[in-house]
Structure 1
Amino acid sequence: MPEYTIEFGKYGARGIKGSEAVGRQLDALAGGVASPVDTKRGMLARLRYLTRSPHARQAARDAGLTATDRTVKAWLDGKRRPNARNLERIERAYVSVRRQNVARYLLRRLNSRGGTRVELHPLNQSQVPRPQQRVLEFRSLNIRIWDRIVRAWAQGDAAALDDAWVDQIVDLGSQWGQYEYVTNVGFAA
């Protein structure tokens, strides 16, 4: 059984960790505000999302948005503008709260009808010298239980997400180590 890749990219292979690709795909499925946080429209949309209810305000505080209610109201009214550090906090809090809010929905969709088919696109070996290239092929597998993956993603825990992802790809058999790094992971909910 293969072990974790220790020196990824040593010979020029390109790709990302499979768990990171899964996180990106879950973020894409979660959707959200398209405007960047540093634009007025993007900042206001995020602040409205984070302040629309007492539960949302508490979740934003838990996620790291420590500005007082008075300051947030001044931002919403356009009387003041948050500095770069506060914009970063707003973005982090928004992503965290958004993930928590859509996690149940995504989990229900991904687990329905016996799971979800996942497509694994192998890493890019175009820069690897011929003798070091491996034969890689497009693979797919059906993940039946997404609970650990979605929970780790919603909590923003990259290590737990990686562990949960590796536990799923071992179903590929003895070749699972070849798909620890990929160019893309595709699935829909």
Structure 2
Amino acid sequence: MPQRTMQFGLYGARGVKGHEAVARQLDALAGYVATPVSARRGLLARLHYLTRTDQARRRAREAGLTVTDRTLKAWLEGRRSPSRQNLERIEQAYRTVRRENVARYLLARLNREGRGTRVEIHPLNQSQVSRPRQRVVEYRTLNVRHWDRIVQAWAAGDERELDDAWVGQIVDLGSQWGQYEYVTNIGFAA
């Protein structure tokens, strides 16, 4: 059984860890606000999302947005602007709360009552690897039926757990799963 890759890119291969590609795809499905937080419209959209209910405010505080209600009100009314550091905190809190809010919905969509979701795995890019050192890797598909660990790790922002959860799924590819630890892209739609 293959082990995890220790020196990826040693001979010129390019790609990203599979769990990072999965996280990118889940982020795309989460549907974040497209306007950057530095623009007034993007700032207001995030602040409204984080302050529309008492529960949303509490979760934003837990996620790291620890400013007073007076400051939030001033930002919303446009009397003051947040500092660069506070803009980063707003963005981080928004992404954290949004992930938590959509996790249950995404989990139901991806599990599809036990039928799962087909995942397309595009292999790593070996165009810069000399011919004798290239491996034969091909485009693969995999039906993932249990997304629970993956979505929970993504929602929590736990990269190590997400990596372990993803590797736990790709071992279903058999003895070749190590070839798909690094990929160019992973695609799935829910």
TM-score tier by shorter-chain length is: over 0.9
Instruction: Kindly report which structure 2 residues correspond to 1:7-86, keeping only aligned pairs within 5 A, or say none.
Output: 7-86=7-86
Distance in 1 of aligned mates of 2:134 and 2:99: 38
Matched-pair identity in %: 72
Give 1:61 deviation, angstroms: 0.4
**SS in structure 1 at match of 2:2:** coil
TM-score by length of 1: 0.99
TM-superposed CA distance for 1:131, in Å, is: 1.3
Q: Tell me how many residue pairs correspond in the alignment.
A: 189
Superimposed CA distance per residue, residues 41-89 of structure 1 (whole angstroms, 9 cap, x where no aligned partner): 1111000000000010011001000111111110000000001100000
Shift of 1:32: 1.9
Structure 2 unpaired stretches of 5+: none
* SS across alignment from 1:47: helix
Q: Alpha-carbon deviation of 1:96? A: 0.3
List, as ranges, runs of 4+ consecutive aligned residues in structure 1 with deviation greater than 6 Å: none
- Residue 95 of structure 1 is matched in structure 2 by 95
The aligned residue for residue 142 of structure 2 is 141
Which residue is 1:121 aligned to? 122
- The separation in 2 between residues aligned to 1:161 and 1:4, in whole angstroms, is 15
**Matched residue of 1:178: which SS?**
helix
1:188 alignment partner in structure 2:
189
In the alignment, is residue 4 of structure 1 matched against residue 4 of structure 2? Answer: yes
Q: Distance in 2 between matches of 1:37 and 1:148?
A: 30
Q: Which amino acid aligns with 2:103?
A: A
In 2, distance between residues paired with 1:131 and 1:37? 48
Structure 1 residue identity aligned to 2:189: A
User: 2-side partners of 1:135 and 1:161: how far apart?
Assistant: 27
Take 2:55 and 2:187, find their aligned partners in 1: how far apart are those partners? 33
Q: Distance in 1 between matches of 2:57 and 2:73?
A: 12
Name 1:176's counterpart in structure 2.
177
Determine the C-alpha separation between the residues in 2 that align with 1:176 and 1:12.
20
Distance 1:82 1:129 in 2: 51
**What amino acid sits opposite 2:157 in the alignment?**
G
Q: Would you say 1:107 and 2:107 are equivalent positions?
A: yes
Look up the equivalent residue of 2:97 and give its one-letter code: V
TM-score (normalised: structure 2): 0.98
